[in-house]
Amino acid sequence: MWSFLRKCLDDCIKGHEKCKVAQDPTFYPQRLLRLTRDESSGDTIQLILTQDQPPSSPYITLSHCWGTIFPFCTTRKNISRVMKYISLSELPKTFQDCIVAAHELGIQYIWIDSLCIIQDDRQDWARHARAMDKIYENALFTLAAVSSPDGSVPFLGPDAPSDRGNWQAVNIDIDTGGIGCWSVENRSMQSQLKVRKYGPILMPGFINGPLEKRGWAWQERYLSGRIINFTQEEARWHCRTSQTCECIGIMQSAHPSLSKESPLAEDEGEKLTPIRKWRHIVTEYSRRQLTYSTDRLPALSGVASRFQASLKGEYLAGMWLADFPRCLAWYRRELSDSSVGKPKMWRSLDNGVPSWSWAS
């Protein structure tokens, strides 16, 4: 798995021009986790201020579900301590696996929301919420713990959610008829083809899991230029240029969320105006869940910020002034648990959002 992911990352960095366009190599978040590996003392983890200790290499971000079991957090009370030392054992399993993945992929710096934002400081939280577009867009890649419903569930190792136990592999002898090989998508396989019994969907772009239902995670995926998805089946690579998975190993065109549907990417095929793109964004985002209804607009603010650069219009509570009359004609589909904020029949209007906005 790790060699597969290293190759995907290396190929993207060296050969994908589209994936380099939006990134600013000089940008770093206010705080990062710095990892240091020592053979004698083991892993050393500490929270650093990047202004005081400029990073020497790119950083990655983690997209994860908080769930009902809140992960280890940075607070005003413990920030002095975590800037000196964080024990690996006190971190939830999802974070521990992220650190393992970082080491395997040669990464020294990680941004994790619960650790890099002071969680009981509203000003610090608001400042970072406004910077989400830059944080995720400028990361080397985002690691997505797709199948972990909360921090207590790992995404690596035997305890991780997995469908691999249902896989079967058989060896099939191939009569090459003197040709010497069979060619599949320009990849030659000598004399033997390994076939695996799989589920009904075998597509690198298909991602399903608890993380995909979350509103904040939807924005994180939308803003990220590169994503490594750890699903219950395998690791899958997505970038603005291509997507692939361990089982197929063949590069395909980019996933829609990272290509033509993104306001940061060039359109391919059908031309979508910025306004039409935004309507699609709201439709997709509204299907996701949020723990706090007051996060409906903050959890989309990073996308709105990047979108504003291309639209160049005034943004009003989830709507654009340039399309305001049409935006006011929003309607709500049949209520379901998959909607943002798990809506009830009646919503209270105490979340600070105007009643004329879809986010109310």
How does pLDDT run across 192-248, given as a tens digit for each residue? 444 444 444 444 445 678 888 898 999 999 899 999 998 877 888 999 888 887 776
For residue 216, give the 3-state DSSP assignment.
Answer: helix
Q: What value does the CA radius of gyration of the chain take, rounded to a whole number of Å?
A: 22
Residue-level pLDDT at 60: 97
The answer to whether 275 and 320 have CB atoms below 8 angstroms apart is: yes
Q: What percent of the chain has pLDDT over 70?
A: 72
Residue type, position 183, single letter? S
Sorted by where each begins, the domain ranges of the chain are 2-159+208-271, 164-197, 272-360
Q: Could you count the other beta carbons within 10 Å of the beta carbon of residue 342? A: 13
How does pLDDT run across 232-243, given as a tens digit for each residue? 778 889 998 888
Rounded to an integer, what distance in angstroms lies between the CA atom of residue 9 and that of residue 102?
A: 13
Q: How confident is the model at residue 260 (pLDDT cuts 50, 70, 90)?
A: very low
The pTM assigned to this predicted structure is 0.79
